[in-house]
Structure 1
C-alpha cells in the first residue's frame, strides 16, 4: 500500500520534469536563502515563505503546527509528485531537498494525510542542473529495465490469481495471492507514483477516501480469508485488478527515473516496511506480510546495488555500513522462511511481539544509513 512515492515523470513531460530528488528528515543547509522555502503546516493552512525561487536545488523546511499528522508534497500542475514527506507529526519539523527544473509547481499540505490537501501555487525560475556521472546514467537505465521486468513478471502471476478466483477455487486463490504482489512490492515507489493506479489496486480499507469504492488486492484478500467466499462481485473485482495492473505495466516503460529518486525510493521501501509490514497492517487477513516485506527489501537492495559504484567511491564508509545492514536484515528474514527455495514464509500472526520488535530494529538499522544514500551519489 502507498506510504511514500518515488517521483516518476513521463517522457512527454521532460521539459519541466524532475531531474533529481533527495529527501531527508535531518537539518541540512541554512535556515534561509533563495533556495530555502519555509512551509508552515496546520490543520487548516499551508503557508509558504516564498512563491517564486530559483530552479535547481530547493529545500523545504517544514514545521507542523497543527494537531494532526500531516504530509507535504511538491507537485507538478497535473499532480505528478516531485517530492514528498509523509507522517510529519504535530509539533515536529522535517526537511525535504529536491532538484527541479524551471516551471510551475504546487506545494500541498495534507492534514490528517487525507484528500487533496491545502495548496499553494509556486514557480521555479531559471537555473541549471549539474552534469551527471555516466555511471549514474547506467544505473538509471538498469533500474528502468528492472522496474519493467518486475511489471512484466507480475502479470502472469496476477492472471493465475484471477483465474483461481473466477473458477471459485478459494484455496488456489489464497495460494496465488502473495506471490502475485511481489513485483509490485519490489518497485512499489515507482508503481505508486502513478497515483491513479495505486488507489485502485493496493489500498486498504482504512486508506479509502470518502466515497471511494474499495477494489484491488486487499479487497479480494478480505473476501478470501475473512469472508471465505468468492461471489460475482469478487470475480468482477478480479478482472478489474488485472486490467488496472496491465495499465501499470504499460506505463512503467515511459518512466524517467533519476539517481537520487532511486536512492530515496530505496529508503521509502524501508519506510513502507516499517509502517505497514512490521505492524502486520498490510496483509491483515492473509498474514502474508513477510512476503511483501521481502519484496520491499529486495527492491531497495537492487536500487542500492546499482548506485553502489558511485556511492562507494564518494562515501566508502556508508557503502560498507549498507552492505552490513542489508546482509543482517536478509539473514534475519531468512529465519522466517518455511522453504529456502521459494517465497514461503511463516504466517505473520505467528510472529510474536518480541520478534516483531527484532524485525523493526533491523529495518531501522538499515533505514538510517540508507537515508544518506541520495547525498552520497551526488557528492
Structure 2
C-alpha cells in the first residue's frame, strides 16, 4: 500500500477507461476539444472548466511543476473516483473515467504526498454510461470477482497460521509465513483497497499513518518480528485483529463494485504499486520480501488483462501482442529470483543494477498497460 493512502478506492471509482500518454493542459497545447484540461504545478491545480456532463470524462493533465505529481478525483468522504500516479515533471497524461453526476473534488499532489491542492467540480446529467455493453465484458467481470474471492479464501488459512505463530512467539515460523500470507491481498489489491476501512488497518506502513491513527496490520507485525526481534502482548492482539480484518475483507467481495474499465485500471494500479513501493524496497522494509509482493502484483495485473484480452485483441491486436510479450518478459525476470522452496531472493540482496532491470521491465509493461482500459471501451 502506498504511504498516505487510506481512503476508499472502489473499482467502480477506478473505472478508468484509459491512461495513455497524450493530451495537454491548455487549449493552446492542442488538447482534445471535449476534454477537461488540468494544469498541475507545485502550487496550483487549475481546470479549464469546473462543470461538465457525466458519463465518460477525459482529463488531460499537464504537470508543469518541478516534482512528480498525482491527480485524483474525489467523491464525498474522499472516496477516489479516479486517479493517476507518477506524472513526471513536464509530462502529460490522459485519464478517461466513467463519472456519475454529483459533486467532486480534483486534487493535484505535487511530490505525491499530502491531501493535495483541490478544486471543486460539478458533474451534470443523468449518469448514463457511454460505454457499450458487451456480454464478454460481463463474463470478464464475473470471472474476476470469482478470482478475487478465491484469493481471499486462500489467504485466510495462511494468515491464521501466521497469527498463531506470532501469538506463540515462534518468530522463525512467523517469518516463513509472512510473505505467503500477503499474496492473495497483493494480487487483488484494487479490490482489497475498495473497502477503505480495511486497507488502513491491514496494510499501512509506519510512514503512511495519518495523524492519530493506530498502527496495526502486517507491517506493524513485520517490524516487531524482524527489527525488534520480539512480539509484545499488544502484537499478539494485533495478530488476531489482522485475521478478523481480513475475514471482513473476504466476506465483502461479493458486494464489491467491479467494472471492465475498473479491472483494466486496477491492472495499471498494480504496476504503479510495484514502481512506487516494491522497486524501492519501501513496502517490506524489514522482511525484504518485496519480490513476493512484486510477483503477486504482476499476477493480479496479468489475470485482469487475460480476462479482458478477448475484447482487447479484437479492438487493438497490436496492444494485445505487446502486452503478451511484456508480461512474458517480466515474469521471466522474476522467475530468476525464485528459490526452490517457492520463496524469493531477499530484496536486500538485489543489487542496484538488478533493481534498475526490474524498474525498466515495470516501465516497459506499464506504458502499454496504461492503454488497456481505453481499448476496452473503444467502439
Fold match, TM over 0.5? yes
Q: Kindly provide the CA deviation profile for residues 48-98 of structure 1, in whole angstroms up to 9, marking residues without a partner as x.
A: 332211112212233445555432211222332210122334554433211
Q: CA RMSD in A?
A: 2.4
Paired residue total? 369
Counterparts of 1:321 and 1:43, CA distance in 2: 35
Per the alignment, residue 101 of structure 1 pairs with 100
What is the aligned partner in structure 1 of residue 350 from structure 2? Answer: 351
Q: What's the secondary structure of 1:123's corresponding residue?
A: strand
Map 1:312-323 → 2, pairs under 5 A:
312-323=313-324
Structure-2 residue corresponding to 1:74: 73
- Cα distance in 1 between the residues matched to 2:362 and 2:240: 35
Q: What is the alpha-carbon distance in structure 2 between the residues aligned to residue 273 and residue 115 of structure 1?
A: 20
Secondary structure of the structure 1 residue equivalent to 2:93 = strand
Distance 1:333 1:61 in 2: 34
Shift of 1:163: 0.7
CA–CA distance in 2 between the matches of 1:41 and 1:257?
Answer: 29
List alignment gaps of at least 5 residues for structure 2.
25-29
1:144 maps to 2:132: no
Aligned to 2:19: 24
| Contact 1:19 1:101 (C-alpha < 8 Å) held by counterparts | no
Superposition deviation, residue 349 in structure 1? 1.4
> What is aligned with 1:222?
223
Would the aligned equivalents of 1:53 and 1:125 in 2 still touch at CA under 8 Å? yes
1:1-379 superposed matches below 5 A: 1-2=1-2, 8=10, 20-24=15-19, 26-28=21-23, 31=31, 33=33, 35-43=34-42, 45-66=44-65, 69-126=68-125, 128-129=128-129, 130-339=131-340, 343-379=342-378
SS at match of 1:59: strand
Q: CA deviation at 1:251?
A: 2.1
Check conservation: 1:115, 1:209, Cα contact below 8 A.
Answer: no
Instruction: Call closer, same or farther: CA 1:111–1:278 in 2, change over 3 Å.
Output: closer
Residue 27 of structure 2: aligned partner: none
In structure 2, distance between residues paired with 1:323 and 1:89: 26
Deviations 1:106-138 (A, max 9, x none): 222334444444433322222632331110110
SS of equivalent residue, structure 1 residue 215: coil
TM-score, normalised with respect to structure 2: 0.89
